[in-house]
Amino acid sequence: MSKDKAEVESALLRALQDAGIDSQSFASDRGFDHDVVVNVIKSLHSTGVDMVDYSEEASVHYSLTEAGREVLERGSPEAQVRESVPEGEDGVALADAKVGAAGAVWDEGFKFAMQLKWIRLEKGAAPRVRRVEGVAASVDPIRDLVRSVAASVEASTEPAGVSDKDMDVLVKKRKLVQVTKVRKYVATAGPRWALVRQKPATDLSADVLEAVLAGEVRFKEYNFETLGGVFKVGGLHPLLKVRDDFKSVFLGMGFEEMATNKWVESSFWNFDTLFQPQQHPARDAHDTFFLERPETCRSLPADGYLARVKEMHEVGGAGSIGYRYDWSEDEARKNILRTHTTAVSSRMLNRVAREIQSSMAPFKTRRFFSVDRVFRNESVDRTHLAEFHQIEGLVIGMRLTLGDLLGTIREFFAKIGLRQLRFKPTFNPYTEPSMEIFCFHPGLGKWVEIGNSGMFRPEMLGPMGIPKDVQCIAWGLSLERPTMILHGINNIRDLFGHKVDLNLIETNPVSRLLA
């Protein structure tokens, strides 16, 4: 505490021993800064141990203007005019009086002196001014009330015995006194007043507890209104928050998360196992990022699966006529950045097929999901970059139908509040039937495409060895689109990339899909 503040506090606590104080008088009597006095009063009150009580009052302070000081020094203009008129019948010529001792204040003083009947004017060819003698008690000697009020104001900022009406004239009409509105604090000793500040107890120890029980100390009151500290900490990127929400939805529906840490994938898993022909335009360098190093994948399956995939592409099987072309293993070995997480789904399904074949137990439905980055060598625009996060869900089970796919999709999107859905037939190389998913977005007031879906083809599941009565339904969407809509972001560069506004990443209340 600064010396001034400590001195004020000590003087204040001593003063309160005898009586209450008002901050204005206390400060002016002791030459303290009024703001410091007020701070000390409030600080003692907020110690939480009732040392000092106070109330706040609005009051008015009067002080003399420059003209008021002139009056205090020389008397009011009317008194000066009266004094400038000589005693006796002759008085003085008006013309002489105007330039006499009261010349500087003649106009104002003459008017008031006439009103007070301190002087009288004898008109004529040569007007003269005479004193009025002995007519009223105020006249001889005159009682210069204006000067006496000025003296009262000089003596106290709140002069007693001056009527509001008189003060109003001096303030508004004659501009001899000015008014300052001030707030004053009337302080009194609280129930736990002491000459020295009492610190409330904030720690809990045996000694403190003993002192509290003895009534010597009190615990500091909890302040439930106080705000917690704002800590500048890192924040989750909105995409990751929405990713968490979708993961929660999947986990809540009994889905297991697939491992998605292979961003570099072989064309075999990304395309061939999905029955996507090697001439498909999506496999062209204009749509896919091919790696230079390592250009090819060395570890393709050696358990006959590759041969079955090759056969399915070339001659078909399981009711399919295949694509009737010479399937190239070299093409399949080309390394790429995966273009969809369906490559991950394909690896997982192949593993499930191995489990089915190696287990005698009846097959139980399995549910898997993935959320991770995928890469497309496409032209970028306001809403598309060369990469995005794909969300994919799949269910593999006995005799699943399109109805199961529709129902699962409805259940999934309902959990993020999208219930008004429509399905539109479409084509995917690896699913049949396939459907685009639309929802009517109340916020946007229009139908929005929210994903794609389908039943994996037998040409995909067959070479894996998945039994014919086991089907697999799947759907996918992106992470960026819902996140951009949630944040009202129109340009994906405001969400993802080096131009992102970091404030978006810190505290942003909007960024959850789920309540």
CB of 302: closest distance to ligand FB9 in angstroms? 27
Our finding on whether 342 is near ligand FB9 (CB under 6 A) is yes
Selected from 428, 463, 492, 496, the binder of ligand FB9 by CB under 6 A is 428
**What is the smallest separation between the CB atom of 237 and ligand FB9, expressed in angstroms?**
17
Name beta bridge partners: 37. Answer: none
How far apart CA 393 and CA 207 sit, in angstroms, is 63
**Which position among 481, 489, 496, 505 is part of the footprint of ligand FB9 (CB under 6 A)?**
481
Q: Please tell me whether residue 339 binds ligand FB9 under the rule CB under 6 A.
A: no
Q: What angle do CA 305, 311, 312 make, to 5 degrees?
A: 90
CB of 292 to ligand FB9, least distance (A): 24
Indicate which single residue of 23, 76, 84, 390 sits in contact with ligand FB9 (rule: CB under 6 A). 390
Q: Is residue 288 near ligand FB9 by the rule CB under 6 A?
A: no
Tokens of 82: 């009266």
Q: Please check whether residue 452 is in contact with residue 477, taking contact to mean a CB–CB distance below 8 angstroms.
A: yes
CB of 441 to ligand FB9, least distance (A): 5
Nearest to 371 by CA among 347, 399, 346, 391: 391
Q: What phi and psi values does residue 314 have, to the nearest 5 degrees?
A: -80, -45
Q: How far is the CB of 325 from ligand FB9 (least distance, A)?
A: 24
Q: Which of 201, 392, 461, 472 binds ligand FB9 (CB under 6 A)?
A: 392
Tokens of 71: 């009056």
Question: Which of 480, 487, 430 lies closest to 453, judged by CA?
Answer: 430
Size of the site for ligand FB9 (CB under 6 A): 23
Rounded Cα–Cα distance for residues 412 and 394 (Å)? 12
237 vs 384 by CB, closer to ligand FB9? 384
What are 218's two structure tokens?
């009190």
Residue 172 CB coordination number (10 Å) = 10
The reply on whether position 478 binds ligand FB9 by CB under 6 A is yes
Nearer to ligand FB9, 44 or 460 (CB): 460
Q: Are 417 and 486 in contact (CB under 8 A)?
A: no
Of 241 and 481, the one with the shorter C-beta distance to ligand FB9 is: 481
Task: Name the residue nearer to ligand FB9 (CB basis): 85 or 495.
Answer: 495
Q: Closest distance between ligand FB9 and the C-beta of residue 280, in Å? A: 15
61 touches 179 (CB < 8 A)? yes
E runs forming strands in 2-74: 21-22, 52-64
Q: Which of residues 153-182 bind ligand FB9 (CB under 6 A)?
A: none
Q: Locate 44 and state its tokens.
A: 């003692």
The secondary structure element, H or E, covering residue 24 is helix 23-30
- In the complex, the smallest distance separating the C-beta of residue 444 from ligand FB9, rounded to whole angstroms, is 8
C-beta of 185 vs 388, nearer to ligand FB9: 388
Q: Which residue is nearest to ligand FB9 (CB)?
A: 476
Residues 439-451, buried b or exposed e (16+ Cβ, 10 A)?
beeeeeeeeeebb
Closer residue to ligand FB9, CB minimum distance, 101 or 448: 448
Q: Are 290 and 270 within 8 A, CB to CB?
A: no
Which of 431, 460, 471, 511 is in the footprint of ligand FB9 by CB under 6 A? 431
Is 78 or 480 the residue whose CB approaches ligand FB9 more closely? 480
The least distance separating ligand FB9 from the CB of residue 484, rounded to whole angstroms, comes to 8
Toward ligand FB9, which CB reaches closer, 128 or 481?
481
Detail the DSSP E strand segments found in 41-127.
52-64, 92-93, 119-122
The pair phi, psi for residue 299, each rounded to 5°, is: -110, 70
Kindly state the smallest distance separating residue 307's Cβ from ligand FB9, in Å. Answer: 25
Q: Is 485 in the site for ligand FB9 (CB under 6 A)?
A: yes
Cβ proximity to ligand FB9: between 201 and 492 the closer is: 492
Among 482, 495, 496, 511, binds ligand FB9 (CB under 6 A): 482
Would residue 512 be called left, alpha or beta, if left means φ above 0 and alpha means ψ between -120 and 50 degrees?
A: beta
Distance CA 503, CA 111 (A): 71
Tell me the closest approach of the beta carbon of residue 505 to ligand FB9, in angstroms.
20
What residues from 437 to 476 belong to the interface with ligand FB9 (CB under 6 A)? 441, 448-454, 474-476
Give alpha helix (H) positions in 143-266: 145-155, 164-168, 206-213, 238-252
Cβ proximity to ligand FB9: between 105 and 477 the closer is 477
Query: Interface residues with ligand FB9 (CB under 6 A)?
Result: 342, 376, 390, 392, 418, 428, 431, 441, 448-454, 474-478, 481-482, 485
